[in-house]
Structure 1
Amino acid sequence: MKKSKLILVLVLTVPFLGISQDSEKSAIGILLDAWHKAAADADYEGYFSKMTDDGIFIGTDATENWQNEDFRAFSKPYFDRGKAWDFTSVQRNIYIGDSGNIAWFDELLDTQMELCRGSGVLKKENGQWKIAHYVLSIAVPNENVADLIKLKQKKDSILLLQLKK
């Protein structure tokens, strides 16, 4: 008797778990799209309201590892000019942890820098998803890596010396 009740509970519950995951993924996708749109629209408060207070933004330059307050200060002049940056997701993968309170994603972006990749971690705070960590990188075709290395070698060498001290 107990076994049949367990099977019945599983049969009735498992399909709803998938629906919940789908709705969470949809909510995260909407949040990320709104975050990118807020930057394109120079909506400073709208942009930063989608990040956790201790959020981190890692940019394409090796020196860009911004804690939230520093990223706000760096970004403010761009938003004040009326347009920060314009990223549009063209492909996105979203994953949700077993607890349902942590998610991570990766996305390919159409940007003013051509194709870029964004990836990050989200936390659920008070029932709302927030971006806790975001990494932006420029997507470089493998056949162009040698040329890119030559282009950045001098600056990277100087930075590596400073970091190794």
Structure 2
Amino acid sequence: MKKIALICSVLSLAISTYLFTKPAEVNTADETKAINTLLDNWHAAAAKADYNGYFGKIAEDGIYIGTDATENWTKKEFEAFSKPYFDKGRTWDFKALQRNIFFSKDGKTAWFNELLDTHMKACQGSGVLEKTGKEWKIKQYVLSMTFPNDNIEKVLPLKAQYEDALIEKLKAKK
């Protein structure tokens, strides 16, 4: 009888430990909806030149990587670059055409990619978000212009005019 009581106690302890240490299940449908809303509102804030609405969605240690090879900004650097455009009410208007969102096992990190309709035609955006408490913040965003592979040779001379010197400068720093 003592053996059965001991086994039941150990089993009860194991089950309790599992139940209380198991991470909560992530409701990916709700979180996907929240992230879609955040990103759509973020893009809409830029289109309306809503500075606080736009930059309030980026984490304080967030990074923005733009289409130019030199655009790898901290949030503060990106704010400084963008403020004159927001002040003039002349910013950018990106609309998501497609978006895919993925989650870490603990549900506190998400990453996404999106195809955008922009003044630059189709662009791709991708990024990482982090959830603190109940709020998602953009930790990193990367904006990329697209270009058809079959025509890449046509654009290389244009890129070379600017990027050859940049590449050499960066190689010299290594």
TM-score (norm 1): 0.88
1:116-135: CA deviation from partner (whole Å, max 9, x where unpaired) = 00000000123101100000
Give the match for residue 20 of structure 2.
none
Distance in 1 separating the partners of 2:64 and 2:163: 20
Distance in 2 separating the partners of 1:67 and 1:34: 21
Distance in 2 separating the partners of 1:22 and 1:150: 45
Report which of the two structures shows the higher radius of gyration computed on alpha carbons: 2
Distance in 2 separating the partners of 1:116 and 1:87: 9
Distance in 1 separating the partners of 2:80 and 2:132: 24
- Deviation (angstroms), 1:84: 1.1
Q: 2:99 aligns with which of 92, 98, 104?
A: 92
Distance in 2 separating the partners of 1:38 and 1:100: 26
Q: Is 1:132 the counterpart of 2:161 in the alignment?
A: no
Paired residue total: 151
Give the match for residue 10 of structure 1.
none
Q: 1:157 aligns with which of 143, 152, 164?
A: 164
Mapping of residues 1-165 of structure 1, within 5 Å: 17=25, 20-165=27-172
The share of aligned pairs that are identical, in percent, is 52
Moved more, 136-145 or 31-40: 136-145
Give 3-state SS (helix, strand or coil) of 1:38's partner.
helix
Which one-letter code corresponds to 2:40 in the other structure? D
Moved more, 30-39 or 75-84: 75-84
What RMSD, in angstroms, separates the aligned Cα atoms of the two structures? 1.5
Distance in 1 separating the partners of 2:66 and 2:95: 16
Distance in 2 separating the partners of 1:149 and 1:69: 32
Distance in 2 separating the partners of 1:125 and 1:144: 43
- Deviation (angstroms), 1:17: 4.8
Distance in 2 separating the partners of 1:144 and 1:126: 46
Gaps of 5+ in 2: 1-10, 16-23
Give 3-state SS (helix, strand or coil) of 1:77's partner.
helix
Give 3-state SS (helix, strand or coil) of 2:117's partner.
strand
- Deviation (angstroms), 1:35: 0.3
Distance in 2 separating the partners of 1:91 and 1:17: 26
1:40-97: CA deviation from partner (whole Å, max 9, x where unpaired) = 0000000011010010000000000010100000000010111311000000000011
Give the match for residue 11 of structure 1.
none
